[in-house]
Chains A and B, each alone.
Chain A
Amino acid sequence: MAEPSVWSDYILPLLLIIGYIAAIVVPILLVVAVVVYGERKIWAAMQFRKGPNVVGPFGLFQVVADGLKLLMKETIIPTGANRVLFIIAPMIMFTLGIVGWAVIPFDAHLVLADINVGILYLFAVSSLGVYGIIIAGWASNSKYGFLGALRSAAQMVSYEVSIGFVLVTVLLAAGSLNLREIVEAQKGLWFFIPLAPMFIIYFISALAETNRTPFDLPEAEGELVAGYQVEYSAMAWLLFMLGEYANIVLLSGLCVVLFLGGWLPPFHVEPFIWIPGVVWFIAKTAFIIFLFTWVRATLPRYRYDQLMRLGWKVFLPASLAWVVITAGAMHLFGWMP
């Protein structure tokens, strides 16, 4: 038994963990920048425009320029606002977009926290997302902000329910709450084939959860100006944007883990297994993010009652029924893992 030393027992692991965290967060922020740029280029292509093309080659540095501009600007806090909460709200939003990555497995052994309840952890993180918005809306002391926050709270709580049932089906099929084991359970068949309806419900609910078109009612610019973001400027607004995009990337990554086989190649044959798992993971995530972008370029906004109807009267019964069907089929045919 070696002598316990402060250095090897506490400080070294701590530094290692900080290093790991940095190794995840920095690439995530870069990915967010790439996503913002790529999104603008994709919309431009879909609408026969050129998109950002002035700053740097192909406009690649547009994101950097925008980020710098927002950093330099003055942060304005409205007089009637609750100062502390006003500042905390974007921080919550940004942090929640980042912390979820702790449990996402990028490859078979490339995961920061390989915990037993990974899927519940992600569900918890995504259910907290509503606080950033509702606190922002309330703290800015503005009609538009508050209306946006209320809408968003109702919307996110509604769609959380169907996401919950989707997760239940996936963990029934995988027999584990651990994300790495869920991916490994898809070795034979990716879950989006047997659980196709849940894949679709998950994708649409993820759109609603991240407040993206066609469910971007919380920031509907036609009626609410920008909803909960209306009083925010400069750095605080930048944090909101970063948080929103980090959340989109996170839910896309989760979608890949749950339904598209995570780091697994599509076929276990020669040319595919040469490519490392991380590349597969990134490629699949990029595809889901492209779908997000495509939807935003294509669809108009839902009306509020339609949104609620879809969440409670269509998705909830459908996902509940699919949970029962999956559980029943697995019990009947003895597919229990």
Chain B
Amino acid sequence: MIIETIVFYVLAVVTVASGVMVIASRNPVQSVLFLILAFFNSAGLFVLMGAEFLAMILVIVYVGAVAVLFLFVVMMLDINFSELRAGFLQYLPLGAIVGVILLAELILVFATGSIDIHVPEVVTVAMPPAAEVSNTKALGNILYTRYAYLFQGAGFILLVAMVGAIVLTHRRRVEVRRQKIAEQVARDPKAAVVLKDIKSGEEGTWKSD
């Protein structure tokens, strides 16, 4: 238990510290890298809680995909650091208010015990020992039964967002020559290649006939 406690405090401290560094570091690329560190340590915390599936998904989705795109964008942008920091104090009150509201909401939710995750009713049907049912299976059992429609709904919302982003940014440029592989493959060598027998010393005629 001692080891787990030590690991918990190490992970928690690093998570919070890198969270602070995300907003405190001067260079936006370093901010994103600290954000990645924070994600990573949160994944460690999930593992400590026995939620290994969530931990892996956090690493795969947030660290492996979302943060890569963040990094991509931040590296490409030409950001004036001093300009960015000039507005810091101006936005501080607003940010603080948002933070306080979120904190108050979280406290309300947890204190009143209104989180109803329906785990008891689903699991008590045939309570398997915690060691036997992996939490991947447990999550699947809840997501695809009780929350099937909400889950599918969330999926559709993401799909619509993705299609929307593609529609907004995609434009077909006429001046670009595109490779049409089917056309290339369908070409007939007889129509495309002409064999000419050119005698040495004679001038060849390059007109295709």
A residues within 8 Å of B by Cβ?
10, 85, 115-117, 120-121, 123-124, 127-128, 130-131, 134-135, 138, 146, 150, 153, 157, 160, 177, 305-306, 309
Contacts and interface: CB of A to CB of B under 8 A. Distances in A.
B72 A150 contact: yes
B21 interface: no
B168 interface: no
B60 interface: yes
B52 A117 contact: yes
Given A127-B59, A134-B71, A160 B179 contact: no
A116 B65 contact: no
Nearest to A84: B30
Chain B CB count within 10 A is highest, among A121, A124, A127, A134, for A124
A160 B3 contact: no
Contacts of A120: 53, 56-57, 60
A35 to B, nearest CB: 26
Contact of B179 (A135, A157, A306): A306
Contacts of B142: none
30 contacts: A10-B3, A85-B33, A116-B52, A116-B135, A116-B136, A117-B136, A120-B60, A121-B56, A123-B56, A123-B60, A124-B63, A127-B59, A127-B63, A127-B64, A128-B59, A128-B63, A130-B64, A131-B68, A134-B68, A134-B71, A134-B72, A134-B75, A138-B29, A150-B75, A153-B68, A153-B71, A177-B134, A177-B136, A305-B179, A309-B179
- Which of B33, B59, B64 has the most chain A CB atoms closer than 10 A to its own CB? B64
Nearest to B61: A127
B65 A160 contact: yes
A124 B59 contact: yes
Given A116-B53, A117-B56, A127-B63, 7 more contacts: A85-B33, A124-B64, A127-B64, A128-B63, A128-B64, A146-B75, A150-B72
The 4 closest A-B pairs by CB, nearest first: A127-B64, A120-B56, A124-B59, A116-B134
B22 interface: no
Secondary structure type dominating chain B contacts: helix
A306 B64 CA distance: 24
Chain B, interface size category, equals: 20 to 34
- Most B CB atoms within 10 A — which of A10, A121, A123, A128? A128
Nearest to B54: A117
Nearest to A85: B33
A116 B137 CA distance: 10
User: Which residue, of B135, B136, B179, has the highest number of chain A Cβ atoms within 10 A?
Assistant: B136
Contacts of A306: 179
A124 B60 contact: yes
A308 B134 CA distance: 37
B36 interface: yes
Given A116-B52, A116-B136, A157 B60 contact: no
B156 to A, nearest CB: 16
A12 to B, nearest CB: 13
Interface in B123-161: 134-136
* Interface core residue of B33, B60, B65 (most chain A CB under 10 Å): B60
A105 to B, nearest CB: 17
A334 to B, nearest CB: 18
Contacts of A134: 68, 71-72, 75
Contacts of A127: 59-60, 63-65
A121 B63 CA distance: 13
Given A130-B68, A138-B75, A160-B64, A115 B52 contact: yes
Contacts of A115: 52
A305 B181 CA distance: 12
Contacts of B69: 157
A120 B56 CA distance: 6
Interface string B61-102: 001110011011001100000000000000000000000000
Contacts of A130: 64, 68
